[in-house]
Amino acid sequence: MRLMEAGSVECAGFLQALRRRGTIPDPAVEATVRAILEDVRTRGDAALFDHAARLDGARLTRDTIAVTDAERETAVASIEPDVREALALAARRIETFHRRQRRESWFVEEEGTGLLGQLVRPLARVGLYVPGGSAAYPSSVLMNAIPAKVAGVPEIALCTPVGKDGVVPPAVLAAADLVGVREIYKVGGAQAIGALAYGTASVPPVDKIVGPGNVYVATAKRLVFGLVGIDMVAGPSEVLVSPALAEAVRTEVERQLALLPRRQIAERAVGEYGAVIQVADLSAAVGLANAIAPEHLELVVADPWALLPAVRHAGAVFLGRHTPEVAGDYLAGPNHVLPTGGTARFSSPLSVDDFQTRSSLLSLTPAALARWKEPIARLAALEGLEAHARSITIRMEEV
């Protein structure tokens, strides 16, 4: 892990590389993903099954792609009681937090004008992507499905990759069962995103796709955006810590890396993007944090609340030494799907809002339309939209 001074040439270069991380598409990856998406769009299930076999070694058919009730029930029964209790606790806390985010429709009647308001409706159908591979991620099920459930989404389809054995990790199925997700497909990668976006004979299309994934999944989500909604194009995870002793942190990171079972992966990540940056004071540290706009910001200082008002850009803020980032990842309640790559400057964590639409509602009285006829027509004419202007004058002539 590198040690550098804030304001140095080395630090400036590091920050520039950090901001670019995950924002510049890899041409080779994009070309591969475009080909997969087009294949799924044109050939449907045949392409979906071919790519699953080629990339994951999974033998899928129309009869085996969906998880059966028996598979789900067997998986749930196999989960240790303490794991089941931990999942249930996490689910309760996540639901409680997200229920506070739920919006309701509202209406206001203005005297002499009519009624104005906003209709809030849940999305009809969403697709949840849960990554697989070397680990199981039941937390991704909880963090993505629960806000959708709280919003009132009636249909949730879950896609997750399987290997040659065709088995979805029991913990993933247990989490899905816990939150009432029953429509589960054994397919991952860009081909799963294509199926959710375009629809196939086996996988009906959705209105929005949410959930994390590798660079191929993230690229596929970016490419289908517009046809469907997406939560965000998430990049590699980020943690920014505001500590007291830079050198002590660097030493401890090296010690902890040696103890990890997935040491090589962690060492590569820390080697490429890990750094300890020495700053003059905590005010400068917060300024640096705002410039980076990290996914996670830990304020491990004596008085974190004193620094909080100056924090402008962060996906999630963790205050004090007893609030580690991992608590937010799994159980505290706030969502762990957070903006990465500096996008916390303009985007927010996944929330109930992501699963609801808002429609404006207008109902004017005849008197209000008559009162506003001239200024509306004048503004329309100002913009060269004569038909707009005529629409109101003709309407008034018919009254």
Catalytic residue among 51, 295, 298, 336: 295
With beta carbons less than 8 A apart as the criterion, state whether 82 and 174 touch. Answer: no
Pairing assessment for the beta strands 114-122 and 106-110 based on DSSP bridges? antiparallel
3-state secondary structure of 301: coil
3-state secondary structure of 219: helix
DSSP state at residue 168: -
| Dist CA 224 CA 208 (whole Å) | 10
| Residue whose token pair is 């680990």 | 135
Whether 98 is catalytic: no
Whether 296 is catalytic: yes
DSSP for 91-119, written as a single string: HHHHHHHHHTT----EEEEETTTEEEEEE
With beta carbons less than 8 A apart as the criterion, state whether 145 and 174 touch. Answer: no
DSSP state at residue 186: S
With beta carbons less than 8 A apart as the criterion, state whether 12 and 168 touch. Answer: no
Contacts 24+ apart (CB under 8 A), 77-81: 78/170, 79/170, 79/171, 79/174
| Dist CA 26 CA 278 (whole Å) | 32
Question: For residue 317, how many C-alpha atoms fall within 13 Å in the half-sphere facing its CB?
Answer: 19
Residues 6+ apart with CB under 8 A from 168: 67, 71, 75, 132, 160, 162, 184, 186
Which of 34, 64, 78, 195 minimizes the C-alpha distance to 128? 195
CA 240 vs. chain centroid, Å, equals 19
CA 367 vs. chain centroid, Å, equals 46
Catalytic residue among 296, 325, 386, 397: 296
Q: In what order do the strands lie in the sheet with 125-129?
A: 183-185, 155-159, 125-129, 208-210, 229-230
DSSP state at residue 37: H
Q: Which residues are catalytic?
A: 295-296
